[in-house]
Amino acid sequence: MNTFSYIINGVHKTSNEIIEVNNPATGELIGKYYASTIEDVEEAIATAKSQQKIWGKLSQEERDQFILQIADAIGSNKSYLAEWITKEQGKPLNGPGAQFEMDACIGWTQVPASLQLSDEIVFEDNTRKDVLKRLPVGVVAAITPWNRPLMIAIWQIIPSIKMGNTVVIKPSEYTTIASLELFRIINDILPAGVLNVVTGDGKIGAHLTAHQDISKIMFTGSIATGRRIIEASTKNMARLTLECGGNDAGIVLPGTDMHQIAEGLFWGSFLNMGQTCAALKRLYVHEDDLDATVEALTTVTKNIKMGNGIEEDVFLSPLQNQMQYDKVNALLEQTKNNSNAKIIIPNPEIPTQGYFIPITLVTGVDHGDAIVDEEQFGPVLPIITYTTLEEAIRKANELEVGLGASVWGTDEHTLDSVAQQMEAGTVWINQHGAIHPFVPFGGVKQSGYGVEFGIEGLKAVTLPKIISYKK
């Protein structure tokens, strides 16, 4: 059985600490990896800082050629990497699962290479001309989560290196092997030291983000960890892009045909078993439409098989780790103490081993219940009733998060009006979670700050500099 190494300055590194990795669907031992030391973090940052002076002198077009080679290499290894995602992260191989994540990796690599962030004349008259240039920020510290380990790593790496930065990346300790294999493929193409990898738990991430030579931190994960990263950045004044989860709200307009939107609601909520930052996690429906909502979602759920994601006909999978499995179960146990709550499990057939929780709908709950107020990050959807749209909008905006949101129905004027009032970085209409590599994405309130993707995402990994010419 392989033990996977991390990479610093193009060299595969080992240590005295070895971590075992198990398949969340079966409990099977699937591999091991070496955990980095604090000394490794120091070496990785020093290497990245030194190499950035060389890499940053290349033009965007020259760096784009490396990036397009990376896209080709990812495509050539798509099936191999997808299988590792399924074995380690748990998501199904097919459907909107691991193969889908790999397609996203390719697309989010190709799109930045197609963009050009050029110098901009921001002011000119007969006395002066002022030109805005975009310079590399320096060394980027990237911290990736376990829910979409390869796709989010690409979101952090590719814009950073395109704009002349170098990267030190720490993958989640829960999904390290698939990440290391992606980084190995990327390192086979890039000059040594442009992408450096360290592994391990939170102490490695903490040392990385607080280091004096880090100029930018990119993080996707929990609000609690995001706050710790903000505190760490006071030591180095690093620029931040933080995506800290959502507990996204969705509002369905009164009288909407639930069967018409049920599949969209289902995958908006339960894609990746709800382990998606921008998943629909609170659904608000008119009190007269509750029964129809439950019926429509139940019909969809009964037709989708849950199991080991490596099986061809499986489209729903386990949660990724014991921690998240316990958290979701604890929220359900709390909910059982609410006499008004009704827990509905449309398809209770699940495997007997692994971190499996069936798709669960919860009615009879409201704000003040933990299942509503806390981000479940699992296959549980609370359905909250309202009497007026004003009430639904107020409740949707009540929590201190705002990554994504959605509104569903047929009246275009009302849909647009509700969307304008919802407090989120992105509001989707008749869809949820539909991100795109050309479209900026980021949260408001405690869901973080800064954006990724498109031209705005490129700007986020640069330093603006004005050159002012006197005429």
DSSP three-state, residue 307: coil
Q: Is the pLDDT of residue 69 over 90?
A: yes
The predicted structure's pLDDT at residue 334: 96
DSSP three-state, residue 86: helix
- Helix (H) or strand (E) holding 22, with range, is strand 18-22
Q: Domains of the chain (ranges plus CATH)?
A: 3-244+447-470 (3.40.605.10), 248-429 (3.40.309.10)
Which pTM was predicted?
A: 0.97
236: exposed, middle or buried (C-beta count within 10 Å: 0-12, 13-18, 19+)?
A: middle
CA 210 to chain centre: 22
Active site residues: 243, 277
The predicted structure's pLDDT at residue 130: 98
The predicted structure's pLDDT at residue 245: 86
Mean pLDDT of 84-112: 98
Q: Is the pLDDT of residue 85 over 90?
A: yes
Whole-number average pLDDT of the chain: 97
Q: How far is CA 129 from CA 120, 124, 286, 463, in A?
A: 11, 4, 57, 20
Antiparallel, parallel or unpaired: β 426-429 and 404-408: parallel
Q: Is the pLDDT of residue 285 over 90?
A: yes
Mean pLDDT of 114-139: 97
How many Cβ atoms are within 10 Å of 457's Cβ, its own excluded? Answer: 28
The residue with tokens 């316990």 is: 326
Mean pLDDT of 115-140: 97
Alpha-carbon span 386 to 378, nearest angstrom: 24
Q: How far is CA 155 from CA 28, 179, 255, 458, in A?
A: 30, 13, 39, 11
Look at residues 291, 213, 228, 254 and name the one whose alpha carbon lies nearest to residue 41.
213
**pLDDT tens across 403-434, in order?**
999 999 999 999 999 999 999 999 999 999 99
The predicted structure's pLDDT at residue 238: 97
CA 310 to chain centre: 22
How many Cβ atoms are within 10 Å of 231's Cβ, its own excluded? Answer: 12
249: exposed, middle or buried (C-beta count within 10 Å: 0-12, 13-18, 19+)?
A: buried
Q: Is the pLDDT of residue 1 over 90?
A: no
Look at residues 246, 316, 250 and name the one whose alpha carbon lies nearest to residue 289.
250
The structure tokens listed for 297 are 């979602």
User: How would DSSP label each residue in 173-184?
Assistant: TTSHHHHHHHHH
Helix, strand, coil proportions of the chain in percent (round to 5)? 40, 25, 40
92: exposed, middle or buried (C-beta count within 10 Å: 0-12, 13-18, 19+)?
A: buried
Mean pLDDT of 122-151: 98
- Helix (H) or strand (E) holding 132, with range, is strand 128-136
DSSP three-state, residue 432: coil
Look at residues 44, 32, 452, 27 and name the one whose alpha carbon lies nearest to residue 208.
44
